[in-house]
Structure formats: C-alpha cells, structure tokens
C-alpha cells in the first residue's frame, strides 16, 4: 500500500511538479491566539458555496426558466422528484447560511484589520465576492416565480432605475424589457447559473490564492503583545492540521443544514400573477432589510432631492468607502492602532443589526 | 488511505510495525463515519437524478383528424400522448392508426403513397398496411390503434 501511494505520488510529481504544490500548501501556517476562531469563517463560506454549486447543478436537471413553466417545475421538484424537496431546501437554506457566514467573515476581517498591507487586494476581491453573493441571492430569489419573488424583483429592479443618467438603461438590461416578465426570469436564470458563477469562480480563485500566498493576518493587538514578549508566538500548519479542523466545522454545518432542510422544507408559495396586486406585508430577504427599512424612514423629499435617491446614493457611497477601506486606513499597515476605523465598523454593524430588527418587529 | 495514517508522523517510524489497537479502532470508527456520510449524500443525489415516471393513462383517445381532412392514399402523423402516431387513409378509403415509432431504433415513420406502405427513412424499414414489418431491419410490427369516427372527428383509441 505504502509503496503504491509513493509510486502514484512520484508519477504525478514527474508530470505536474506536485511537490511544488504540496510545498505551496505546506508553507502557510495558521497563528494560534484568542481570535483564532474567526479564521474558520472563510473556509465555512467556501464550503457552503460548494454545496450551492452541487445542489444547483442538481436543480438544473428539472428546472425550467420560463414564466409558464418555472413555478410548475419547482413544484414538480418539491412533490414528484425523489428527494427533490431535500435538494431544493438545502439549496435555499445553504444560500441563507452562506450569506450570514459571509457577513460574519467580512466583519471579523474588518475588526481584525486583516485588510492591512500587503492584503489590500484580498479585501477588495473579498468585497467584490460579497456583492456577487448578494447578486446570487437576488437573482435566485426570482427563479421559483412565486408572488413574493415577483414583487421583490419588481421593487429591486425599480430601485436600480434611480441610478443617475443610466437608470432607465440598467432597468431595461436587468428586466429584458420595461416590465418584469418571463424575459426577466430567463435573464435572471442566465445571471444566476452562468454569469455570476463564472465571475465568482475567477474572483474566488484569486482571493484564495492571495490568502494562501500571504498567509493569515495576526490582529495588531496580538502582534504587539507578541513583540513585547507578553505572548508566545504559536501557530499550526494550515495543511493538514488547520484544514482538518476546518473539515470538522463543515461536518457540523452539514448536520445543521440537513436538519434545517428536513424540519423546515423551503416553502414555494403561490404562483406569480403579474396582473394581481402585491400581497400585504411584502418585504425583501433578511439581508436587504436594513436598506429597505432606511428607505422607509426617509421622507419623500429631502430639500430638493428625492428621498429614495438620497438613500440609494448614501448606500452606494458607503459601499464604495467600505471597498477601499484598506487604502483609507493605511496607517494600520504600519502597525498603528486606528480606533476611528474600528469605531466606523462598530457603527456599520450596529446600524445593520438595529435597522434589520426594526424591519422585522 | 486510512491504513496509511500511521506513517503520517515521520518521527514515529520505529513504532510503525507495532500497530496501536486504539488508533486502529479510531480509524475504523472515523472511516465508517466518513463512508456513511458520503453514502448519505450520494444516495439522495442518485435517486434525485432518476426522473419520476410521467403519469400517462393507459387508456388514451385523441382526435387525430377531421372527417374529410385526409384524401384516399394519404396519411398524417399526430401527437398521441407523449409519442407520435400515424393515421393512414388507405386507397380504398379505410382508416388505420399505428404508433409512428419505428420498432428498430425509434425514428418516426412516414407513409409512402407511391408504395402503399409505411416507411422508416432511417434504415429503410418497411411495414405493410397491417403494420407488419415486411422488409428492412425492424424486428416487430407497429402497434395498431383503433379508429372510430364520431361525428366530424376521427378518434384514435388505445386500450390498456
């Protein structure tokens, strides 16, 4: 056995230099300190993404992206196909868990200032991935073609129309016309299963390559304690030690997912009627609630400017600042403690939590 | 792979010959757990990929054409459940209906007015007007359906 394994590895090594790959994997070490737990969230997001890809491929085998067939095909999956309810419920639950984990990953990276030099591009690619994940959520939400999805898409795409100058064009591009119709559904299906996965895969490869190459960032506070000799410098190899711990976490996540999908299968709702009225109490998915609630509070006119437009401009600006934060907080790169940015992060996190709660209750 | 994990620790090469039963037990439990887990994903996925049977009632009747639509010595392929079927009006004005799926490799057959026979263009198979396979590769006759004329409609019926 041992001989066979050795010979297989030698054979591969001769052909693709796998010793180099192994060397590349072995060179990364994961620091051990009181914040090590936050290092697990990126891998968890990756795991849930893989679940999405696998269950998504399965759903593709029965799903039909047309206004007359979409709802029925999802219904068919939920009621006729063996384990169809399970596959679709896991896809929906895993999508929501992934978004939650991605939020946690983003904020933990922010507070640990892991975006500091030389990891600026890791942060920027991560933020782009974050937007892609939201776009996955938004485009996938329409696909079952139920009432809630239909109106959420109507409202969501309508907002894109507030973009200065290009608004009308963007709405037409997203909807494939001036209304949400079967053309929109087919288009969103294309985004969801082809365009977004393509972009996501490239960004993800870049993001992971950087993480592997640059290694894990140690928070400035811990770094200082180690320098001052108050804390011993401890670490473990990423491969295989940390990865095995990662896999334990994934195993747990799989159990949670299976339980959620089995106990609370995802609802399908009522087929969309484009000429019916919107149901009462309609609101977007939880990860868009803080924006939805903000827009609700804004008056229709703030001096000369539309309240909606002002709100969306503020969110656009905040998002842009968030993406370039490593360049704004460049002082942290020299190991300086920059309390302003930590405060900013606390404010943003608090804002999202409070506004989301206000929208729910 | 599980049997290999002992050699994972390079500094314990000397102990390799003496297998630790405790570790062996842990490997067995872990290995069984992993196999069971993988099986539990693969089983639903495999079952999911197998499509559920499309419910098609064994009794089927379809309006294939209107009276007067077909001239003598002519035919028409129509949709019969999920498959094509062929309605033939013979030279003497009788109606016949068969499945239009060739018994050889499943091509859709057509009526040859010049030969008074049913012809499969894929491999030059021939059936007579009783649906019998008379030449070429088809191994079996075409299944025949009943034809009823109900008012203006020509109804084709398959019984269980």
Q: What is the 3-state secondary structure (H, E, C) of chain A?
A: CHHHHHHHHHHHHHHHCHHHHHHHHHCCEEECCCCHHHHHHHHHHHHHHHHHHHHHHHHHCCCCCCCCCHHHHHHHHHHCCCCHHHHHHHHHHHHHHHHHHHHHHHHHHHHCCCCCCCCHHHHHHHHHHHHHHHHHHHHHHHCCCEHHHHHHHHHHHHHHCCCCCCHHHHHHHHHCCCCCCHHHHHHHHHHHHHHHHHHHHHHHHHHHHHHHHHCCCCCHHHHHHHHCCCCCCCEEEHHHHHHHHHHHHHHHHHHHHHHHHHHCCCCCCCECCCCCCCCCCCCCCHHHHHHHHHHHHCCCEECCEEHHHHHHHHHHHHHHHHHCHHHHCHHHHHCCCCHHHHHHHHHHHHHHHHHHHHHHC
pLDDT > 90: what percent of chain B?
65
pLDDT tens per residue, range A80-92: 999 999 999 999 9
Residue B144 bridge partners (DSSP): B98
Residue B143 · residue B99 · CB < 8 Å: yes
pLDDT tens per residue, range A12-29: 888 988 888 888 888 889
Give me the mean pLDDT over the A53-60 stretch. 97
**Chain pair A-B, CB pairs under 8 angstroms:** 33
Q: What was the pLDDT predicted at B6?
A: 46
pLDDT tens per residue, range A280-339: 777 889 999 999 999 889 888 888 888 888 999 999 999 999 999 999 998 888 877 788
CA closest to A251 among chain B residues:
B37
User: Hey, of A78, A83, A244, which one would you mutate to test binding to chain B, going by the most B CBs within 10 A of its CB?
Assistant: A83
Identify which of A91, A101, A107 has the alpha carbon closest to the alpha carbon of residue A144.
A91
Q: What was the pLDDT predicted at B12?
A: 52
Annotate B91-103 with b (16+ C-beta within 10 A) or e (fewer): eeeebbbbbbbbb
Identify which of B105, B65, B69, B106 has the alpha carbon closest to the alpha carbon of residue B84.
B106
User: Hey, of B41, B52, B54, which one would you mutate to test binding to chain A, going by the most A CBs within 10 A of its CB?
Assistant: B52
Of B7 and A61, the one with more pLDDT: A61
Q: What tokens were used for A156? A: 């969501």
pLDDT tens per residue, range A327-361: 999 888 887 778 899 999 999 999 999 999 999 88
How sure is the predictor about B1, in pLDDT bands with cuts at 50, 70 and 90?
Answer: very low
Residue B86 · residue B111 · CB < 8 Å: yes
How sure is the predictor about B4, in pLDDT bands with cuts at 50, 70 and 90?
Answer: very low
Residue A80 · residue A51 · CB < 8 Å: no
Sign, CA torsion B117/B122/B124/B130: negative
Rg of chain B's alpha carbons, rounded to an integer? 31
pLDDT tens per residue, range B92-114: 999 999 999 999 988 999 999 99
The answer to ipTM > 0.90 is: no
pLDDT tens per residue, range A91-122: 999 999 999 999 999 999 999 999 999 999 99
Q: What was the pLDDT predicted at A213?
A: 92
Residue B99 bridge partners (DSSP): B85
How sure is the predictor about B157, in pLDDT bands with cuts at 50, 70 and 90?
Answer: very high
CA closest to B52 among chain A residues:
A81
* pLDDT above 70 for B81: yes
Q: What was the pLDDT predicted at A19?
A: 81
pLDDT tens per residue, range A157-170: 998 888 888 889 99
Q: What was the pLDDT predicted at B19?
A: 63
Q: Is A251 near chain B, with CB under 8 Å?
A: yes
Q: What was the pLDDT predicted at A298?
A: 87
Give me the mean pLDDT over the B130-144 stretch. 94
Q: What was the pLDDT predicted at A338?
A: 84
- The whole-angstrom distance between A295's CA and the closest CA on chain B is 43
Q: What was the pLDDT predicted at B11?
A: 52
- The whole-angstrom distance between A62's CA and the closest CA on chain B is 9
Q: What was the pLDDT predicted at B2?
A: 43
Give me the mean pLDDT over the A261-267 stretch. 95
Of B160 and A107, the one with more pLDDT: A107
Q: Is B49 near chain A, with CB under 8 Å?
A: yes
Q: Is A204 near chain B, with CB under 8 Å?
A: no
How sure is the predictor about A68, in pLDDT bands with cuts at 50, 70 and 90?
Answer: very high
pLDDT tens per residue, range A184-211: 999 999 999 999 999 999 999 999 999 9
How sure is the predictor about A248, in pLDDT bands with cuts at 50, 70 and 90?
Answer: very high
Q: Is A262 near chain B, with CB under 8 Å?
A: no
Give contacts of B37 with chain A, Cβ < 8 Å.
251, 254
Q: Is B48 near chain A, with CB under 8 Å?
A: yes
- The per-residue DSSP string of B116-155 comes to TEEEETTTTEEE-TT--EEESS--SPPPEEEEEEETTEEE
How sure is the predictor about B3, in pLDDT bands with cuts at 50, 70 and 90?
Answer: very low
Give me the mean pLDDT over the B105-124 stretch. 92
Give contacts of B51 with chain A, Cβ < 8 Å.
62, 81
Of B4, B47, B48, the CB nearest to A1: B4
Give contacts of A82 with chain B, Cβ < 8 Å.
44, 47-48, 50, 52
Distance CA B157, CA B160 (A): 10
CA closest to B2 among chain A residues:
A1
pLDDT tens per residue, range B19-61: 688 889 999 999 999 999 999 999 999 999 988 887 666 678 8
Identify which of A130, A124, A122 has the alpha carbon closest to the alpha carbon of residue A101.
A130
* pLDDT above 90 for B146: yes
Give me the mean pLDDT over the A220-225 stretch. 89
pLDDT tens per residue, range A115-146: 999 999 999 999 999 999 999 999 999 999 99
CB neighbours of residue B26 within 10 Å? 13
Q: Is the whole-model pTM more than 0.80? A: yes
Q: Residue A134 class from Cβ within 10 Å (0-12 exposed, 13-18 middle, 19+ buried)?
A: middle
Distance CA A155, CA A184 (A): 13
Asked if A1's CB is within 8 angstroms of B52's CB, the reply is no
* pLDDT above 50 for A33: yes
Sign, CA torsion A201/A207/A212/A217: negative
């Amino acid at each position: 056995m041992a001989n066979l394994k050795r010979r297989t590895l030698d054979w591969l090594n001769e052909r693709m230099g796998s010793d180099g790959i192994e060397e590349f994997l072995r060179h990364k070490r994961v620091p051990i300190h009181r914040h090590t737990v936050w290092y697990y969230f990126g891998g968890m997001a990756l795991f849930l993404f893989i679940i999405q890809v696998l269950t998504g491929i399965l759903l593709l085998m029965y799903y039909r992206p047309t206004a007359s067939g979409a709802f029925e095909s999802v219904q068919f999956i939920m009621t006729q196909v063996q384990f169809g309810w399970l596959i679709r419920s896991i896809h929906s639950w895993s999508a929501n868990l992934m978004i939650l984990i991605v939020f946690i990953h983003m904020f933990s990276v922010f507070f640990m200032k892991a975006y500091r030099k030389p990891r600026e591009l890791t942060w920027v690619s991560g933020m782009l991935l974050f937007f892609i994940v939201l776009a996955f959520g938004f485009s996938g939400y329409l696909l079952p073609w139920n009432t809630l999805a239909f109106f959420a898409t109507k409202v969501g795409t309508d907002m894109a129309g507030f973009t200065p100058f290009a608004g009308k064009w963007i709405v037409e591009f997203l909807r494939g016309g001036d209304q949400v119709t079967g053309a929109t559904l087919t288009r969103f299906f294309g985004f969801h299963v082809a365009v977004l996965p393509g972009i996501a895969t490239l960004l993800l490869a870049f993001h992971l390559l950087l993480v592997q190459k640059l290694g894990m960032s140690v928070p400035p506070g811990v770094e200082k304690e180690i320098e001052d000799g108050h804390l011993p410098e401890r670490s473990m190899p990423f491969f295989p030690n940390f990865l095995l711990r990662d896999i334990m976490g994934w195993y747990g996540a799989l159990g949670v997912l299976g339980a959620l999908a089995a106990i609370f299968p995802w609802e399908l709702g009522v087929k969309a009627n484009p000429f019916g009225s919107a149901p009462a109490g309609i609101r977007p998915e939880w990860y868009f609630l803080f924006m939805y609630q903000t827009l609700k509070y804004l008056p229709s006119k703030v001096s000369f400017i539309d309240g909606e437009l002002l709100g969306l401009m503020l969110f656009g600006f905040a998002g842009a600042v968030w993406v370039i934060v490593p360049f704004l907080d460049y002082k942290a790169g020299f190991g300086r403690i920059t309390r302003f940015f930590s405060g900013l992060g606390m404010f943003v996190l608090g804002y999202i939590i409070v506004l989301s709660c206000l929208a729910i209750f | 792979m599980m049997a290999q994990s002992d050699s994972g620790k390079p500094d314990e090469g000397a102990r390799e010959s003496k297998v630790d039963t405790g570790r062996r037990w842990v490997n067995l439990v872990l290995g069984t757990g992993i196999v069971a887990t993988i099986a539990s994903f693969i089983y639903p996925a495999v079952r999911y990929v197998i499509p559920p049977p499309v419910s098609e009632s064994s009794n089927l009747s379809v309006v294939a054409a209107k009276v007067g639509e077909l001239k003598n010595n002519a035919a028409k392929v129509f949709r019969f459940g999920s498959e094509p079927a062929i309605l033939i009006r013979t030279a003497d004005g009788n109606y016949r209906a068969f499945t239009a799926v060739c018994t050889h490799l499943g091509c859709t057959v057509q009526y040859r007015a010049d030969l008074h026979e049913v012809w499969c263009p894929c491999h030059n198979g021939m059936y007579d007007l009783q649906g019998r396979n008379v030449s070429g590769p088809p191994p079996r006759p075409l299944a025949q359906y009943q034809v009823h004329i109900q008012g203006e409609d020509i109804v084709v019926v398959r019984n269980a």
